[in-house]
Amino acid sequence: MPTIDLNKRILEYIYECPVVENNPMYFCVAEERDNHNQLLPSREQPQDDIEYVDGTVERTYRAEILMYKSVAYNPIVTEEVGTSGKRIPSDVYPNENLEDMEDGQALIDWIKDQNDNRHFPNFGEYCIIDSVKPKSNRPILNGINSELEPPLAQYSVGLEIKYLDISKQLWKN
């Protein structure tokens, strides 16, 4: 049975996403720079596997896609008061933080669309993929590294792939 490098297949798959394809993608270790992305596989625990009576095993591949984005310190709403008496949104500076969050959201929406359309990564002939889903409906801000220039925010999008490993079944179709 040929060994399939699942990480490679996931990287190829994620790279099809428009918000990711034009930026550098790293695996495990990344150079933290604006618009760099990183695939970080999570621990896959054998005890989470579900074994079926026919010898097939349902497994889950989990990973985080980390997105590095420079941060803005501009207010969304200025102190300036409009004619209505309310503070008005800043239109001088487009807010970069919001746009960066939208990139993460676009990746999540893309993953959901792929699942709906059953467009899955290729895990080879011995794996049947059931679903590819994001682990949350919104990107998560893990933190900001203000020691870098410019300061970088790290957003994460969780990925969960459920697949059936049929390599150990005795019965051959």
Please report whether residue 1 would count as binding other proteins according to CB under 8 A.
Answer: no
Least distance to other proteins from the beta carbon of 52, Å? 6
- Which residue in 1, 84, 149, 172 binds other proteins (CB under 8 A)? 172
Quote the tokens at residue 107.
Answer: 């990746």
C-alpha distances in Å from residue 50, one per residue of 36, 46, 54:
35, 9, 12
Least distance to other proteins from the beta carbon of 13, Å? 22
Closest C-alpha to 15, from 6, 26, 5:
26
- Furthest-apart CA pair in the chain: how many Å? 76
Please report whether residue 78 would count as binding other proteins according to CB under 8 A.
Answer: no
Residues in the chain: 173
**Which residue number, 90 or 167, has a Cβ lying nearer to other proteins?**
167
Please report whether residue 168 would count as binding other proteins according to CB under 8 A.
Answer: yes
Please report whether residue 73 would count as binding other proteins according to CB under 8 A.
Answer: no
In three-state secondary structure terms, 11 is helix
The site that binds other proteins (CB under 8 A) totals a number of residues, namely 15
**Which residue number, 57 or 144, has a Cβ lying nearer to other proteins?**
57
Please report whether residue 55 would count as binding other proteins according to CB under 8 A.
Answer: yes
As beta bridge partners, residue 26 has 38
As beta bridge partners, residue 128 has 164
- Interface positions with other proteins (CB under 8 A): 50-56, 58, 164, 168-173
